Chain A
Amino acid sequence: MKEITYTITDPEGIHARPAGVLVKEAAKFTSKVIIAKDGKEVDAKRILGLMGLGVKCGQEIVLKTEGEDEDAAIEALGKFLEENL
């Protein structure tokens, strides 16, 4: 399993639109992709759960990937977070 920590800098947090894009990105990998905030974990391939986390600007999340392509996934999704959120 791979994991990184990231602090959201988008002023709106993970609201509907970025959540949608993130889910699409996560779906490109076969690995399990988890986003966690304050110990609560959700499947990053499921939009309702992801939005339900209510991640706001300035909050820290942990991104975890587990599976065959976990290295590629963590790299791509980490980059995605930095560029978009």
Chain B
Amino acid sequence: MKLEGKSVFSGIAIGKCKIFGKKDQVVKRSKVTDTDLEIKRFTQAKEQAKSQLAALYKKALKEVGEANAAIFEVHQMMLDDLDYVESITNMISSQGINAEYAVATTGDNFAEMFAAMDDDYMRERAADVKDISNRVIHILQGGSEQAGLGDQPVIILADDLAPSETVQLDKSKVLSFVTCHGSTNSHTAILARTMNIPALIGVDYPEDAEGHMAVVDGRNGVFLLDPTEEELTKYEALRQEEVEKARLLQELKGKENVTKAGRKIALYANIGGVGDVASVLANDAGGIGLFRSEFLYLETEDYPSEEQQFKAYRTVAENMAGKKVIIRTLDIGADKQVDYFGLEHEENPAMGYRAIRICLDRKEIFKTQLRAIYRASYYGNISIMFPMIISVDEVKAAKEMCATVQEELKSEGIPYGKVELGIMIETPAAVMISDLLAKEVDFFSVGTNDLTQYTLAIDRQNPKLDNIYDAHHLAILRMLQMIIDNGHKEGCWVGICGELGADVTLTDTFIKMGIDELSVSPSMILKVREQIRNSDAK
């Protein structure tokens, strides 16, 4: 049987299914005569629940880190929340009902409040309230902690998993998580990512799947129950391949990006927000080669303030602890639109009012961003890169703005660090005058996506053209050589931050062409490192 779901982490798992117990206990309502005693029972159960949670927090701290463990501290606080506690004790004393029922009802009421919120993340918190309530009820009913999983590693099937359930699992016995509910923000999803195991959500598995063989294909979001021999063989081969790859990559962590002949390449990561820094560090990138600053503008309902931007840039700079962080200034317009900018509809937005064109026209926006970046530069190693450049004048105007900002900060007594300035080379015009542009800046970073689109005159968003879109087109490779040579003549370092930079079939070619830096998505870092280390380029 083939079922589809949404993948929250890639990979392949093959094994027997284990349905993880639905824990929604049946709670009966009954009358009690001594309500004080009943309240005391509840208070004791609550305290016991808190000490269990404290123990879970310690365990989670070791296994999944502080950020993921924090939820158990929050759970303890929820148990002490006065609204929660008063609701329960009131119910017991005014209605003369048993503690179990009062806890279950209160838990449901708060869960409903969260479930009704207009925010995915907050909706997920309904599960937290239910989880703490179930824990208290379990203790009141005299139950013990969850039973173990058995000897063989299994694929866990569940309605949804609460954090307290997942942390109690013996991780070495879990091949994959498959849940019926949950979202990409759910604890199951977060845990799967931390554990590096495939996970699917939204899979409506049959209740009799217990003990059956299954395949979880996290790459395609497929759950195969009772696979055929043929399917098993195919997936087993794929799984082996992945295991081998993972092992290889793990071995490469901490290694230098150096060719057999001793040439060193800077290997950086592309990120689109503060939250991506964790995966940058986990994948051992040497810095951030492209920090897309658009997220700051896309996530808010009005222009982000200098303070807001400063905080984000500073956080990233500090987390990267002295490693290079290249911030690309605002690249809004084209396929990235923001309402409050009030941009007019364009027939051809890719060639329209966007990026540096907006910044040099609406200078107040540009200045706010540059002030924030320069202020953050005091806290790390920050560089600035301007997108969509087509002329030397644009670069001069942008540099002038940088100089003004520095003057201002100096006169205000605000400290800032040394900032390298560079440009994206993503228009054919910039390529053709790269000799002149190189005199103005410290580095070039080639944006291959737009450069290819403009050079081949192929709209990236038109699927009909996919068959003639050739990322390896000789025109692009020749341009790249020209950019590298022109950059080097003026002492600029040259990198690639477009998708082509992560194309491992070209890594060796790039190095031989003289590339100094490659900036790729965090998950590609180690794969590219492997290619660099296999290259014999001098």
**Which of B73, B77, B295 counts the most chain A CB atoms within 10 A?**
B77
Q: Bits for B56-87, please: 1 = Cβ < 8 Å to A, else 0.
A: 00000000000100110110011001111000
Among all A-B residue pairs, the 8 with the closest Cβ atoms: A9-B308, A20-B74, A58-B300, A17-B70, A48-B81, A16-B74, A47-B77, A54-B117
**Which residues from chain A contact B83 at a C-beta distance below 8 Å?**
46, 48-49
CA distance A15 to B129 in the complex (A): 14
Q: Across the interface, do A54 and B118 meet the contact criterion of CB distance under 8 Å?
A: yes
**Which residues from chain B contact A64 at a C-beta distance below 8 Å?**
none
- Closest residue of chain B to A9 (Cβ to Cβ) is B308
- Closest residue of chain A to B80 (Cβ to Cβ) is A47
Q: Across the interface, do B82 and A45 meet the contact criterion of CB distance under 8 Å?
A: yes
Q: Across the interface, do A51 and B274 meet the contact criterion of CB distance under 8 Å?
A: no
How many A-B residue pairs lie within 8 Å, measured between CB atoms? Answer: 66
Range for the number of chain A residues in contact with chain B: 20 to 34
Is the CB of B463 closer than 8 A to any CB of chain A? Answer: no
Q: Across the interface, do B128 and A16 meet the contact criterion of CB distance under 8 Å?
A: yes
CA distance A43 to B81 in the complex (A): 10
- A4-47 CB contacts (< 8 Å) to partner B: 9, 11-13, 15-17, 19-20, 23-24, 43, 45-47
**Which residues from chain B contact A58 at a C-beta distance below 8 Å?**
299-302
**Which residues from chain B contact A13 at a C-beta distance below 8 Å?**
119
CA distance A9 to B538 in the complex (A): 48
Q: Given that A20-B73, A48-B81 are known contacts, is A54 also in contact with B119, CB under 8 Å in the complex? A: yes
**Which residues from chain A contact B114 at a C-beta distance below 8 Å?**
51-52
CA distance A13 to B120 in the complex (A): 12
Q: Across the interface, do B77 and A57 meet the contact criterion of CB distance under 8 Å?
A: no
Question: Among the listed B273, B301, B305, which residue makes an inter-chain contact with A11, where contact means beta carbons less than 8 Å apart?
Answer: B273
CB distance from A83 to the nearest CB of B (A): 9
CA distance A45 to B273 in the complex (A): 31
- B332-382 CB contacts (< 8 Å) to partner A: none
**Which residues from chain B contact A23 at a C-beta distance below 8 Å?**
77
CA distance A56 to B129 in the complex (A): 20
Q: Across the interface, do B74 and A17 meet the contact criterion of CB distance under 8 Å?
A: yes
CB distance from A37 to the nearest CB of B (A): 13
Q: Given that A9-B311, A51-B114, A52-B113 are known contacts, is A15 also in contact with B121, CB under 8 Å in the complex? A: yes
- Closest residue of chain A to B310 (Cβ to Cβ) is A9
- Closest residue of chain A to B117 (Cβ to Cβ) is A54
Is the CB of B125 closer than 8 A to any CB of chain A? Answer: yes
Q: Across the interface, do A12 and B121 meet the contact criterion of CB distance under 8 Å?
A: yes
Is the CB of B400 closer than 8 A to any CB of chain A? Answer: no
Is the CB of B122 closer than 8 A to any CB of chain A? Answer: yes
Is the CB of B206 closer than 8 A to any CB of chain A? Answer: no
- Closest residue of chain B to A56 (Cβ to Cβ) is B119
Query: B residues bordering A, Cβ < 8 Å?
Result: 67, 70-71, 73-74, 77-78, 81-84, 110, 113-114, 117-119, 121-122, 125, 128-129, 273-275, 295, 299-302, 304-305, 307-308, 311-312
CB distance from B90 to the nearest CB of A (A): 15
Q: Across the interface, do B82 and A9 meet the contact criterion of CB distance under 8 Å?
A: no
**Which residues from chain B contact A15 at a C-beta distance below 8 Å?**
121-122
Q: Across the interface, do A57 and B122 meet the contact criterion of CB distance under 8 Å?
A: no
**Which residues from chain B contact A49 at a C-beta distance below 8 Å?**
81, 83
CB distance from B100 to the nearest CB of A (A): 20
Q: Across the interface, do A48 and B84 meet the contact criterion of CB distance under 8 Å?
A: yes
**Which residues from chain A contact B305 at a C-beta distance below 8 Å?**
9
**Which residues from chain B contact A12 at a C-beta distance below 8 Å?**
121
**Which residues from chain B contact A16 at a C-beta distance below 8 Å?**
70-71, 74, 125, 128
CB distance from A33 to the nearest CB of B (A): 13
**Which residues from chain A contact B301 at a C-beta distance below 8 Å?**
58
**Which residues from chain B contact A24 at a C-beta distance below 8 Å?**
77
Q: Across the interface, do A11 and B81 meet the contact criterion of CB distance under 8 Å?
A: no
For the A-B complex with A16-B70, A47-B78, A51-B114 known, give 10 more contacts whose Cβ atoms are closer than 8 Å.
A9-B305, A16-B74, A17-B67, A19-B74, A43-B82, A46-B81, A49-B83, A52-B117, A54-B122, A57-B300
Q: Given that A9-B307, A58-B300 are known contacts, is A51 also in contact with B122, CB under 8 Å in the complex? A: yes
Q: Across the interface, do A11 and B299 meet the contact criterion of CB distance under 8 Å?
A: yes
CA distance A23 to B77 in the complex (A): 9
12 A-B pairs whose Cβ atoms sit less than 8 Å apart in the complex: A9-B307, A9-B308, A11-B312, A20-B74, A24-B77, A47-B74, A47-B81, A48-B81, A49-B81, A51-B125, A58-B301, A58-B302
Question: Among the listed B67, B82, B118, B312, which residue makes an inter-chain contact with A46, where contact means beta carbons less than 8 Å apart?
Answer: B82
**Which residues from chain A contact B118 at a C-beta distance below 8 Å?**
54
- Closest residue of chain A to B71 (Cβ to Cβ) is A16
**Which residues from chain A contact B273 at a C-beta distance below 8 Å?**
11
**Which residues from chain B contact A48 at a C-beta distance below 8 Å?**
78, 81, 83-84, 110, 113, 129
- Closest residue of chain A to B87 (Cβ to Cβ) is A48
CA distance A16 to B117 in the complex (A): 14
**Which of B84, B274, B305, B308 counts the most chain A CB atoms within 10 A?**
B308
CA distance A5 to B315 in the complex (A): 24
- Closest residue of chain A to B307 (Cβ to Cβ) is A9
CA distance A80 to B442 in the complex (A): 39
- Closest residue of chain B to A12 (Cβ to Cβ) is B121
